């Protein structure tokens, strides 16, 4: 039987209590990985840790707000105390928003950057020496919004662009150390992210403006995360729309602008006029 490269690997997953993070945790566990769960919800992580244990895999849950540097440092410290090393970091934790820049409070944009960008920076900073020593992998779960700005999502797009620049630079700096860095951009994925998306005043919008049932499943994305790591992918854009966006923005960017404007304007209760 062919050896599973993920067996006994120590994997940290942020935003592990729901959506893509939860699905990834279960997928790594099925492959025999030692999974470290990081999220703010202690109850959800405890239930997931129990589910993974019943599968016969090892799990450690650590209540973590990735926007807080000390939480991220403690996450890495607890992982080392328990497992002694780190092979893979999945920077998945993130929040979204939906509001025009004209209307949005600056505090909302800061919150997006604190969670999405700085959360990735903090976790990567403290995990990096261990992952490099193992020639391991760092993954950033991104979006098409990291390749082309999305109207009504200034803070979200800005944070994803920042993540791309950060992770690409980390990759280049560690070329000779054989560090693998992958940016994966799923399409709209069925999760709670749109329910918790922040509005102009910072409150959660509560309901998704899109049909969740027609979206990618978190399980599908999780399988691709493992596949991308196995194949040492650099960037993985999971939809044809996203791939065309990345290509056409260099050829006919004004057309891409207009297409995304129309797409976002069609959403129910869209902030676009």
Residue 189 backbone dihedrals phi, psi, to 5 degrees:
-115, 140
Angle CA(229)–CA(122)–CA(200) in degrees, nearest 5?
100
* CATH number of the domain to which 246 belongs: 3.40.50.720
Tens-level pLDDT at each residue, the chain (273 residues) = 357 999 999 999 999 999 999 999 999 999 999 999 999 999 999 999 999 999 999 999 999 999 999 999 999 999 999 999 999 999 999 999 999 999 999 999 999 999 999 999 999 999 999 999 999 999 999 998 888 888 999 999 999 999 999 999 999 999 999 999 999 998 776 656 657 789 998 888 766 555 556 678 999 999 999 999 999 999 988 887 777 787 777 888 888 877 777 787 887 778 877
Between helices 154-173 and 119-133, what is the axis angle to 10°? Answer: 20
Distance set, CA 44 to CA 49, 55, 223, 232 (Å):
9, 17, 21, 31
* Residue range(s) defining the domain that contains residue 58: 10-265
Q: How many domains does the chain have?
A: 1
Is 215 inside any structural domain? yes
In-domain check, residue 273: no
156 labelled catalytic:
yes
Indicate whether 2 belongs to any domain. no
Radius of gyration of the chain (CA): 18
**Contact assessment for residue 14 and residue 95, using Cβ atoms and an 8 Å cutoff:** no
pLDDT of residue 192: 61
What pLDDT does 1 receive?
Answer: 39
The three-state (H, E, C) secondary structure of 111-164, written as one string: HHHHHHHHHHHHHHHHHHHHHHHCCCEEEEECCHHHCCCCCCEHHHHHHHHHHH
Q: Is 58 within 8 Å of 64 (Cβ atoms)?
A: no
4 in a domain, yes or no? no
Euclidean distance between CA atoms 182 and 8, whole angstroms? 21
Q: What does the pLDDT read at residue 271? A: 82
Which candidate in 126, 156, 260, 261 is catalytic? 156
- Report if residue 257 sits inside a domain: yes
Q: Does residue 224 form part of some domain?
A: yes
Residue 1 lies in a domain: no
d(CA 202, CA 207): 15
Residue 241 covered by a domain? yes
The pLDDT score that the predictor gives to residue 104 is: 96
Contact status, residue 171 vs residue 128, Cβ threshold 8 Å: no
> H or E stretch including 21?
helix 19-30
Model's pTM, two decimal places? 0.90
Q: What was the pLDDT predicted at 174? A: 97
Axis crossing angle, helix 42-54 with helix 19-30, rounded to the nearest 10? 20
Residue with tokens 């920042």: 162
| Structural contact between residues 109 and 31, judged by C-beta atoms closer than 8 angstroms | no
What is the maximum alpha-carbon separation in the chain? Answer: 59
The Cα 271–Cα 269 span in angstroms is: 6
């Amino acid at each position: 039987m062919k050896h599973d490269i993920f067996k006994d690997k120590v994997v940290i997953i942020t935003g592990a209590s729901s959506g893509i993070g939860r699905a990834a945790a279960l997928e790594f566990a099925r492959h025999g990985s030692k999974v470290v769960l990081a999220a703010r919800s202690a109850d959800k992580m405890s239930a997931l840790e129990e589910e993974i244990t019943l599968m016969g895999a090892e799990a450690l849950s650590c209540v973590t707000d990735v926007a807080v540097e000390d939480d991220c440092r403690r996450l890495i410290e607890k992982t080392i105390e328990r497992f002694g090393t780190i092979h893979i970091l999945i920077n998945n934790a993130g929040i979204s928003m939906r509001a025009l820049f004209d209307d949005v409070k600056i505090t909302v944009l800061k919150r997006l950057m604190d969670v999405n960008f700085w959360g990735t920076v903090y976790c990567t900073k403290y995990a990096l020496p261990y992952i490099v020593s193992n020639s391991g992998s760092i993954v950033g779960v991104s979006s098409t919004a990291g390749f082309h700005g999305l109207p009504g999502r200034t803070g979200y797009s800005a944070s994803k662009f920042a993540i791309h620049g950060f992770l690409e630079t980390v990759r280049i700096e560690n070329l000779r150390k054989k560090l693998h860095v992958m940016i994966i951009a799923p399409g709209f994925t069925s999760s709670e992210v749109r329910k918790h998306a922040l509005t102009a005043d910072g409150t959660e919008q509560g309901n998704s403006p899109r049909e969740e049932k027609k979206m990618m499943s978190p399980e599908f994305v999780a399988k691709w995360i493992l596949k991308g790591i196995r194949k040492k992918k650099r960037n993985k854009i999971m939809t044809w729309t996203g791939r065309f966006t990345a290509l056409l923005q260099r050829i006919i960017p004004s057309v891409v602008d207009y297409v995304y404007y129309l797409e976002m304007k069609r959403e129910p209760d869209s902030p676009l006029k």
